[in-house]
């Protein structure tokens, strides 16, 4: 088809607070003469609030005019209308999977799909690669990440291309200068999942309180990503604001919980402390001394193995004493602080676009998670979008799939039997609806879940039948309208809760 005149068109969309910050900062660095960029936010259960959105786009061209928030269906239409050369899916893995599929279905010309991860991504994980296996370019942020993800992708048999980009929301290696304001606030970068246990979080809060008591003239700020009621990329079960009421003797007056942009907090900070937040990298880039607490260990689960050898891992006693650190120079180059000239993601993207202009590019095969056909696609979409997917197939897939998934986990079934169960569910969508009644629902049937639904305008009870000695069946039985409550609100609540807990 050949290239069209003018700047290359890039359509970018993000879903949660951390992905909005990453995506907006990444594309804001692109040359405006080369690229025509449109940045959008996906309406979803994890959509950032207006306050979170403002903090996420601070310092970018969208600070003055916040990005448009659109529905999933509107995104597909925007792809069709804009006909972009490239699409940046700055979203969580499950959302990447369904949005890439939707874009491919409507695009006039096959765009180049770019994905990535918004922070520290060591260790490399199979899920991160599998969810993004159909993308053309995955953006990572250090030479070490490129090596580790490349090795894992080769091991998985995924032909993924990787592009290098320094984390976009702080200065580069050649810009680092010693900073930190003596007597300024000590900033603790909280994380939703690290540490995960309630007891550990209370213990950590106690260390912060002791730090505040030792320096009554210095503010200790617990920097949070979300206030009560706001969504964030990862669900937080035990938030520090609520736990502060359990501190023996109460919290000192100079220990406070605050939101807002991390850059604003770091501007006047004397030091930053965290377990493994990407904010540590941001602080290092700004020259602010840091301390990574290793009292809970160093492990994959804690996401802090990348800091081994950096010189910034230390126990809480160092924080209480006010002894913050700067990383060893030899650690910096391999971990997020390479020279700006080493960045190659934009060059790789332009090369892929030029290749697309002159030949037909095939779409990579989705690695895993494809069993189940149209039912599986509907399940993926409903799980990714929650109540913002209002399709009939999404409701049916969730009603059928949730008890299946639960039962399979509980019973420990093997892969072969799991496929048979999914094939049974797939029959529900043949011909645009349900094939009809398969059996009856009763207490003796062994059903693990029963839910009312309306399928093809017919009130229906849906259950999963798991008899001990027979193959599992989907059980559908007609029921009077008066006996069937609307399924949508209940299913949406289930979908949103599942999304929050698995994000």
> What class is the 8-166+343-358 domain?
alpha beta
CA 287-290-294 angle, to 5 degrees, is 155
- Mean local confidence (pLDDT), 342-365: 94
Least confident window among 7-16, 133-142, 307-316, 447-456:
447-456
List all residues 6 or more positions away from 341 whose beta carbon is below 8 Å from its beta carbon: none
* Cis geometry, peptide bond prior to residue 369 (ω within 30 degrees of 0): no
pLDDT bracket for residue 400 (50, 70, 90): low
Q: Quote the CA–CA distance of 465 and 469 in Å, as a whole number.
A: 11
CB 301 within 8 A of CB 95: no
Give the residue among 127, 69, 44 at the shortest CA–CA distance from 93.
127
Kindly tell me the sign of the dihedral angle through the C-alpha atoms of 399, 405, 407, 410.
negative
pLDDT of residue 174: 53
Q: For the chain, give the percent of residues with pLDDT over 70.
A: 74
Query: At 175, is the pLDDT very low, low, confident or very high (cuts 50, 70, 90)?
Result: low
Stretch among 196-205, 222-231, 241-250 having the lowest mean pLDDT:
222-231
DSSP summary character for residue 18: H
Q: Which of 3-12, 237-246, 411-420 has the lowest mean pLDDT?
A: 411-420
CA dist 245 and 46 (Å) reads 27
The pTM of the full predicted model, rounded to 2 decimals, is: 0.75
Instruction: Identify the sign of the CA torsion 401, 196, 190, 278.
Output: negative
Mean model confidence pLDDT for the chain: 79
Which pLDDT does position 187 carry in this prediction?
97
Among 456, 490, 463, smallest CA distance to 477 is for: 463
C-alpha span between 333 and 300 (Å, rounded): 22
The model's pLDDT over 148-164, given as tens digits with 9 standing for 90+, comes to 999 999 999 999 999 99
Helix/strand/coil for 40: strand
Please tell me the CATH superfamily of domain 173-329, with its number: Glycogen Phosphorylase B; (3.40.50.2000)
- DSSP class of 309: T
Task: Report yes or no: 222 and 236 within 8 Å, Cβ to Cβ.
Answer: no
Domain boundaries, given as residue ranges, for the chain: 8-166+343-358, 173-329, 373-502
Q: Are 153 and 134 in contact (CB under 8 A)?
A: no
Q: Is the previous residue joined to 195 through a cis bond, with omega within 30 degrees of 0? A: yes
Mean predicted confidence (pLDDT) in 92-120: 94
- Phi/psi of residue 400, each to 5°? -75, -45
């Amino acid at each position: 088809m050949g290239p069209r005149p003018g700047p290359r068109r890039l359509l970018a969309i993000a879903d949660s607070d951390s992905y909005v910050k990453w995506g907006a900062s990444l594309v804001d660095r692109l040359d405006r003469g080369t690229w025509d960029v449109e940045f959008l936010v996906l309406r979803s259960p994890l959509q950032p609030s207006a306050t979170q959105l403002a903090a996420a786009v601070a310092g970018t061209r969208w600070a003055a005019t916040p990005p448009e928030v659109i529905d999933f269906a509107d995104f597909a239409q925007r792809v069709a209308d804009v006909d972009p050369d490239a699409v940046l899916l700055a979203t969580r893995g499950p959302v990447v999977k369904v949005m890439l599929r939707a874009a491919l279905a409507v695009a006039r010309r096959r765009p180049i799909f770019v994905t990535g991860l918004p922070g520290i991504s060591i260790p490399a994980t199979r899920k991160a690669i599998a969810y993004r296996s159909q993308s053309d370019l995955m953006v990572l942020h250090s030479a070490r990440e490129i090596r580790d993800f490349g090795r894992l992708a080769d091991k998985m048999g995924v032909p993924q291309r990787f592009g290098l980009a320094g984390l976009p929301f702080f200065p580069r290696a050649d810009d680092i200068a010693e900073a930190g304001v003596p007597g300024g606030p000590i900033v603790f970068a909280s994380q939703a999942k690290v540490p995960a246990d309630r007891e550990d979080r209370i213990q950590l809060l106690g260390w912060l309180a002791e730090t505040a008591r030792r320096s009554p003239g210095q503010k200790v700020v617990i920097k949070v990503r979300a206030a009560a009621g706001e969504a964030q990329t990862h669900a937080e079960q035990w938030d520090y604001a609520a736990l502060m009421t359990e501190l023996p003797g109460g919290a000192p007056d100079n220990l406070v919980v605050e939101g807002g942009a991390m850059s604003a907090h770091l501007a006047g900070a004397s030091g930053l402390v965290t377990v493994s937040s990407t904010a540590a990298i941001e602080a290092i880039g700004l020259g602010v001394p840091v301390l990574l607490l290793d009292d809970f260990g160093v492990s994959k689960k804690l996401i802090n193995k990348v800091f081994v050898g950096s010189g910034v891992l230390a126990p809480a006693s160092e924080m209480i004493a006010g002894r913050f650190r700067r990383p060893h120079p030899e650690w910096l180059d391999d971990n997020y602080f390479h020279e700006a000239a080493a960045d190659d993601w934009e060059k790789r993207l332009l090369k892929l676009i030029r290749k697309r202009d002159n030949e037909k590019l095939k779409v990579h095969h989705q690695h895993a998670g494809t069993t189940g056909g149209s039912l599986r696609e509907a399940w993926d979409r409903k799980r990714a979008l929650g109540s913002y997917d209002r399709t009939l197939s999404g409701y049916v897939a969730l009603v059928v799939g949730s008890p299946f998934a639960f039962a399979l986990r509980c019973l420990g079934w093997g892969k072969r039997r799991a496929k048979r169960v999914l094939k049974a569910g797939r029959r529900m969508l043949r011909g645009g609806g349900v094939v009809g009644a398969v059996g009856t629902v009763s207490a003796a049937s062994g059903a693990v879940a029963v839910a009312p639904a309306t399928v093809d305008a017919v009130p229906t009870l849906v259950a999963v039948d798991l008899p001990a000695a027979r193959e599992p069946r989907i059980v559908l039985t007609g029921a009077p309208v008066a006996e069937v409550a609307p399924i949508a609100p209940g299913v949406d609540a289930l979908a949103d809760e599942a999304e929050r807990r698995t994000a």
